[in-house]
Amino acid sequence: MPSHTPAPEGLTLSRRRLLAAIGVGGALLAVPACRSAAEESSTGGAAEKGGTLKIAQTADIAPATLFGQNNPNFTLARTVFNTLTEYDHKTLEPKPSLAESWTVAADQKSITLKLRKGVTFHSGRPFTAADVTFALENLTKETIASQLKHVALAVRRITEDDEHTITLDLAHPVSNLFDLFEILLIVDKESIGELLKGTKIIGTGPFEVADRTPGTGLDLQRYEGYWKKGAPLLDAVEVTVVSQSASMVSSLRSGGTHLLVDVAPLDAASVKSDDRFEVTVSDAHDSGFYVASNVRVKPLDDKRVRQAVAWAVDRDRILSQVLGGIGTVTSLPWATSSPAYDKTKAAHYSRDLTKAKALIRAAGADGRTVKVVYNAGLATNAKIAEIVQYDLTQIGLDAKAEPLQAADFLAKLQAGELPGLFINGHGFGQLHPATLVKGAFPFNADKNASNFDSDEYRRLADRLWKTTEESEAKEVADQLNDLLLEEQFVSDLVASSHTFTLSSKVSGLNWTMYDYLDLDATAIG
């Protein structure tokens, strides 16, 4: 059994090796006039301790959804909790957090983790292997939603070797195990019921919850028993819910707020020329915008119509007029950092009305009505829907935009009941590609929002998930890309990024590869 400390190359195909094997370079999205993660981490002078960081976001936290990625929880997940490992943003190799080191079995079906000693929950209870067991078993419950549930279900047996050593036996090699470790929040098993209700939120992270008013926000205070010495620097964090993006910007300009999370791109662009503020673009590049089809709804059951949609939509207009130039146009769901990214195939679809019209005629879909559904509460998606609707009328479809309230849209999305085309965003294109095709709901090969059902798609997704062979990973990624481009049950439009708009007084802002805010080293100058 080879030992790897801290980053193994056995159980999961080494990120560096897999990137090289599939032929991915280190190119980042072109984002003019914004700060990248690398630039962010290198700015600022000596950080001073103290102060309260004031954050605004458009939606309230949702504690019951903490076990999967959910944007409103970006301010909660890494401030109050920790995970077993955290990816290095440059190398994409897992680094220690609550797991100090790990050892991988030769058959790649077992991993033993050495856990950090001296860690306590905010209640004062010591962190042990039993808490990791609980976190993994909790994730497998039918009532818990997570994009990485499929990985937790692959854990066949958990053995607590001692209080700070745990061994996981797997049903088969798992290529995206560390994607799970990056998102698996270690929660307090003694208060899990209250966590799900949002009445008591206890973790091991740098801040503890001092107060919460549902729908309004929450107050965090420094946890003096945090295991990372010298952190955090801040005394407190205030998170306030401000539903209107423009109001968030006004608060930033007036000095009432220091940091805006995911403000509308055009609103963020409005402060880029003011040297009092900065727009920082996440290097995770995990915010994809797409138009998808319910393939059970005519004429979208014909892939020629779906391909016509992909040829018709003006991606460049969406990028410039809706997203403020933050991102790059694409035909695939992957960030440029993903091992599955293929520059040539990502450029497969571009606006070509002649091709689109020919496909519509061949499918006999001239004049057919197609609904374009979107979440009325998201201004970005509404603007994308307007462009998509217009473009589809140019190729002979009777496109009708249909706004739905957020709760209705999400319920129909999860049930696969949206009545035609739908506009939305997705993540999970930035890490191991198996996580997207096995877990991200728009693409999940086992069950997805488009009702796309394909034995071949499931076969390829499973192969990518279970293989640790470089040559096979490249072969399967190529085949998956070809299938996605051919079937177009999801038509990706722009690969973008989450943004953090902040006062220039703020330094040391960091985040995980799931875009959870990491405020360990954040300070206010």
Q: What are the tens digits of pLDDT across the range 172-228?
A: 999 999 999 999 999 999 999 999 999 999 999 999 999 999 999 999 999 999 999
Omega cis (within 30) before 433: no
Residue 76 falls inside a structural domain: no
User: What does pLDDT average to over the chain?
Assistant: 90
Q: State the DSSP string of 213-272.
A: ETTTEEEEEE-TT-SSTT----SEEEEEE---HHHHHHHHHHTS-SEEES--HHHHHTTT
Residue 53 falls inside a structural domain: yes
Specify whether 220 is located in the same domain as 363. Answer: no
The tokens 């940091």 sit on which residue?
Answer: 259
Cα–Cα distance between 214 and 194 in angstroms, integer?
14
pLDDT at 46 (0 to 100) = 56
Q: Is 315 exposed, middle or buried (0-12, 13-18, 19+ CB in 10 A)?
A: buried
∠ Cα 405 71 73 (to 5°): 115
The larger pLDDT score, comparing residue 10 to residue 337, is at 337
Specify whether 425 is located in the same domain as 511. Answer: no
Give 376-391 pLDDT, tens digit per residue: 878 899 999 999 999 9
H-helix or E-strand containing 178? Answer: helix 177-183
Contacts of 261 (CB under 8 A, 6+ apart): 55, 56, 57, 74, 75, 498, 500, 517
**What pLDDT band is residue 4 in, cutting at 50, 70 and 90?**
very low
Give 35-94 pLDDT, tens digit per residue: 444 444 434 445 678 999 999 999 999 999 999 998 999 999 999 999 999 999 999 899
Output the six-digit token pair for 154.
Answer: 């692959």
pLDDT at 337 (0 to 100) = 80
Specify whether 331 is located in the same domain as 459. Answer: yes
Residue 349 falls inside a structural domain: yes
pLDDT at 13 (0 to 100) = 40
Which domain range does residue 218 map to? Answer: 31-62+205-283+499-525
Residue 27 predicted with pLDDT over 50 = no
Output the six-digit token pair for 281.
Answer: 């673009």
Contacts of 232 (CB under 8 A, 6+ apart): 206, 207, 222, 226, 519, 520, 521, 522
Specify whether 344 is located in the same domain as 461. Answer: yes
pLDDT at 113 (0 to 100) = 98
Residue 34 predicted with pLDDT over 90 = no
Residue 32 predicted with pLDDT over 60 = no
Cα–Cα distance between 492 and 354 in angstroms, integer?
20
pLDDT at 410 (0 to 100) = 86
The larger pLDDT score, comparing residue 468 to residue 477, is at 477
pLDDT at 47 (0 to 100) = 65
Give 423-470 pLDDT, tens digit per residue: 999 999 998 999 999 999 999 999 999 999 999 999 999 999 999 888
* Among 140, 157, 192, residue at a domain's last position: 192
Q: State the DSSP string of 401-465.
A: EEEE-HHHHHHHHHHT---SEEEEEE---SS-HHHHHHHSTTT-SSS-TT----HHHHHHHHHHH
Residue 239 falls inside a structural domain: yes
pLDDT at 189 (0 to 100) = 97
Residue 197 falls inside a structural domain: no
Specify whether 226 is located in the same domain as 171. Answer: no
Q: What are phi and psi of 292, to 5 degrees?
A: -120, 165
pLDDT at 48 (0 to 100) = 78
Specify whether 454 is located in the same domain as 515. Answer: no
The larger pLDDT score, comparing residue 231 to residue 414, is at 231
Residue 77 falls inside a structural domain: no
Residue 74 falls inside a structural domain: no
Cα–Cα distance between 384 and 392 in angstroms, integer?
12
The larger pLDDT score, comparing residue 132 to residue 264, is at 132
H-helix or E-strand containing 373? Answer: strand 369-375
Specify whether 369 is located in the same domain as 465. Answer: yes
Specify whether 366 is located in the same domain as 478. Answer: yes
**% of the chain surpassing 70 pLDDT:** 91
Any bridge partners for residue 103, and if so which?
A: 3, 112
The whole-number average pLDDT for the span 342-370 is 98
* Among 169, 192, 215, residue at a domain's last position: 192
Query: 11, 3, 425, 4: which is closest to 181 by C-alpha?
Result: 11
Identity of the amino acid at 359: L
Query: 139, 148, 251: which is closest to 186 by C-alpha?
Result: 139
Residue 350 predicted with pLDDT over 80 = yes
Split into its structural domains, the chain has a count of 3
Output the six-digit token pair for 9.
Answer: 């190359």
Query: 21, 99, 4, 24: which is closest to 430 by C-alpha?
Result: 24
Specify whether 163 is located in the same domain as 299. Answer: no
Residue 3 predicted with pLDDT over 70 = no
Which stretch of 228-232, 408-412, 500-504 has the lowest confidence by average pLDDT?
408-412
Nearest-10 Cα torsion for 116, 204, 285, 92: 0
Residue 489 predicted with pLDDT over 90 = yes
Nearest-10 Cα torsion for 375, 381, 385, 387: 170
Cα–Cα distance between 13 and 469 in angstroms, integer?
7
pTM over 0.85: yes
Specify whether 171 is located in the same domain as 232. Answer: no
Query: 163, 138, 160, 139: which is closest to 150 by C-alpha?
Result: 139
Residue 20 predicted with pLDDT over 80 = no
Mind spelling out the 3-state secondary structure of 509-522? Answer: CEECCCCCEECCCC
Residue 105 falls inside a structural domain: yes
* Among 165, 192, 219, residue at a domain's last position: 192
Specify whether 128 is located in the same domain as 164. Answer: yes
Specify whether 155 is located in the same domain as 230. Answer: no
The CATH number covering residue 51 comes to: 3.40.190.10
**What pLDDT band is residue 23 in, cutting at 50, 70 and 90?**
very low
Alpha carbon 234 to chain centroid distance?
26
The CATH number covering residue 469 comes to: 3.10.105.10
